[in-house]
Amino acid sequence: MPKKKPTRAAASPRAQRKEKPVSVPKAVTRKKPSASPADRLKIVDRQLVQLLKDRVRLTIEHLQSLNDRRDVWFDSKNEQLLWEELEQVNQGELTRDVLRGVFRELLCAARSKVKTVRVAYLGPPFSFTHLAALERFGKTADLIPVNSIASVFEEVNKGHAEFGIVPIENSTDGRIVDTLDMFTRLPLRICGEVQMSVHHNLLSRSPRSEITEIYSKPQALSQCRDWLARNMPQAKIYDVTSTSTAAALAQTKPGAAAIASRQAAVQYQLDIVAETIEDNAHNVTRFAIIGDHETSQTGSDRTALLLQVPHTPGSLSDALTAFKNNKINLTWIESFPLRGPESGYLFFLDFEGHMKEPRIKKALQLLEKKAVRMEILGSYPRSEPLA
Ligand SMILES: O=C(O)C(=O)C[C@]1(C(=O)O)C=C[C@@H](O)C=C1
């Protein structure tokens, strides 16, 4: 018969001395259970908070070392490097936009600590312009809603806000005339852009069968024109100053609906009667950040220009050779008639490159010689569309 293996208790000196067994806490004698997800979460959260604080502290140190304090909100080169770096390391559960959102808030929190910023936008809250402002300046910035695009320009021009944000162009509907028109009236620059995918929703407190009136900004209505014709042919359509104005109206008016963002549905306590009703699934709006800030070169920039050439045959095509000869890619050209008795057109141009680059300087000098009026609206870093 094999010899019985001594148990651990029997092998201990205490057992050999036949002492009274001491009561040992159960947790020690039992096999230690692995930490629950909730416990592990607590540990990760603590580490995360510490890391986030370190991240913000280091960002503040970096921003304080910039030569020009005005660059605090326009540290574009470093920001670009950060997005590229995140793209490389982010392989897993997080989408690009979620991770960017987290880092955007951290960056903006650090920037606000170094320099507070006031930004006027086309309101009320939860217009698409507000969403673009949140994307660019974060929740810590002082975002001021005003009720028209013209007022955004006025607020910045009077110095009530350092920056403003306005829609400038939509992939389905084209130019935003109010914005381009204000550039001809006030001496403000474009110092940045935000490109955002725009998804529209039909929002109301009434069921779909009881909706008789639909409100929104003309651009939003136009972006959903086919859907409206197919699905709501009986409803009367009304223009208002923004999608969020429409949402606020639909909140109080029985039978009224708004075309606006999902976020507006939450803010104005409306039901989403129909979602993603834009006719073009790739509906992108480009917003311009306006101010008097000069942005430094990043290597991936655009420049915007107002141009008037003599109202004579061939003048425009002649002027545009400045771009061709200097291998500059023109990305946008819009014309609008001159105000007042004079006949002719003013052109709004957008092209790749920064005004500090030699080839761009050369082209601008050439262009100036052929122009009746020329104003450089600014060079700014290009942005990619965000979902
Ligand atoms: O009304 C809004 O919510 C806006 O921010 C304006 C605006 C625009 O005029 O283009 C912005 C994005 C969409 O294209 C629709 C409306």
Q: For residue 10, what pLDDT is reported?
A: 35
**Distance from residue 1's CA to the centre of ligand 1 (Å):** 89
Nearest CA to ligand 1 atom 3: 127
DSSP for 157-223, written as a single string: HTTSSSEEEEEEEETTTEE-HHHHHHHHHS--EEEEEEEEE---EEEESS-GGG--EEEE-HHHHHH
pLDDT band at residue 31, thresholds of 50, 70 and 90? low
For residue 201 and ligand 1, the question of a CB distance below 6 A is answered with no
- Structural domains in the chain, CATH included, are 41-115 (1.20.59), 117-198+279-293 (3.40.190.10), 203-274 (3.40.190.10), 295-386 (3.30.70.260)
Which atom in ligand 1 lies closest to the alpha carbon of residue 245? Answer: 1
Of 21-25, 82-86, 178-182, 198-202, give the lowest mean pLDDT range.
21-25
CA-nearest residue for atom 12, ligand 1, is 128
Q: Is the CB of 245 under 6 A from ligand 1?
A: no
Å from CA of 175 to ligand 1 middle = 11
Q: Which atom of ligand 1 is nearest to the CA of 218?
A: 9
212-249 residue pLDDT tens: 999 999 999 999 999 999 999 999 999 999 999 999 99
Whether residue 200 has its Cβ less than 6 Å from ligand 1: no
220 lines ligand 1 (CB under 6 A): yes
Backbone angles phi, psi at 200, to 5 degrees: -100, 155
CA of 14 to the centre of ligand 1 (A): 81
Whether residue 130 has pLDDT greater than 50: yes
Task: Give the number of other Cβ atoms within 10 Å of residue 309's Cβ.
Answer: 22
What is the whole-number distance in angstroms between the Cα of residue 167 and the centre of ligand 1?
A: 6
HEC-encoded secondary structure of 225-243: HHHHHHHCCCCEEEECCCH
Task: Output phi, psi for 66, to 5 deg.
Answer: -70, 140
Ligand 1 atom, smallest distance to 127 CA: 3
Among 119, 129, 195, 203, residue to substitute to test ligand 1 (most atoms within 8 Å of Cβ):
129
Pocket test for ligand 1, best of 180, 242, 267, 268 (most atoms within 8 A of CB): 242
Which residue's structure tokens are 């507000």? 130
Residue 17 predicted with pLDDT over 60: no
Give the C-alpha separation, 325 to 320, whole Å. Answer: 9
Q: Which residues, at least 6 apart from 222, have a Cβ–Cβ distance to it below 8 Å?
A: 172, 173
Residue 358 phi, psi (nearest 5)? -55, -45
Active-site option among 287, 347, 348, 351? 287
Residue 93: which pLDDT band, with cuts at 50, 70 and 90? Answer: confident
Percent of residues, the chain, with pLDDT higher than 90: 78
Establish how many alpha carbons lie within 13 A of residue 261's alpha carbon, considering only the half-sphere containing its beta carbon: 19
pLDDT at 32 over 80: no
Using the atom order of ligand 1, give the atom closest to the CA of residue 242. 1
Distance CA(221)–CA(372), nearest Å, equals 37
Taking a C-beta distance cutoff of 8 angstroms, is the pair 107, 137 a contact? Answer: no
**Which atom, in ligand 1's list, is nearest to the CA of 216?**
1
Which among 243, 285, 295, 303 is annotated as catalytic? 285
Answer yes or no: is pLDDT of 4 > 50.
Answer: no
Q: What are the tokens at 162?
A: 């350092």
The ipTM estimated for the assembled molecules is 0.99
**Helix intervals (H) in 90-148:** 96-114, 128-137
pTM of the model: 0.87
Using CA atoms, how far residue 366 sits from 33, 117, 370, in Å, is 77, 37, 7
179 in contact with ligand 1, CB cutoff 6 A:
no
User: How far does the centroid of ligand 1 lie from the alpha carbon of residue 173, in Å?
Assistant: 11
CA 358 vs CA 238, 364, 371, 379, 380: distances in Å: 49, 10, 20, 14, 16
DSSP code of residue 72: G
How far, in Å, CA of 133 to CA of 77, rounded? 20
Higher pLDDT, 30 or 224: 224
Q: How far is the CA of 294 from the centre of ligand 1 (A)?
A: 26
Q: Is 285 a catalytic residue?
A: yes
What's the pLDDT tens digit per position in 244-258? Answer: 999 999 999 999 999
Q: Among this protein's residues, is 323 annotated catalytic?
A: no
Structural contact between residues 294 and 191, judged by C-beta atoms closer than 8 angstroms? yes
Distance CA 264, CA 246 (A): 10
- State whether the beta carbon of 127 lies less than 6 angstroms from ligand 1: yes
Q: In this predicted structure, what is the pLDDT of residue 212?
A: 98
Predicted confidence at residue 385, as pLDDT, reads 75
Q: Which run of H or of E encompasses 284?
A: strand 284-291
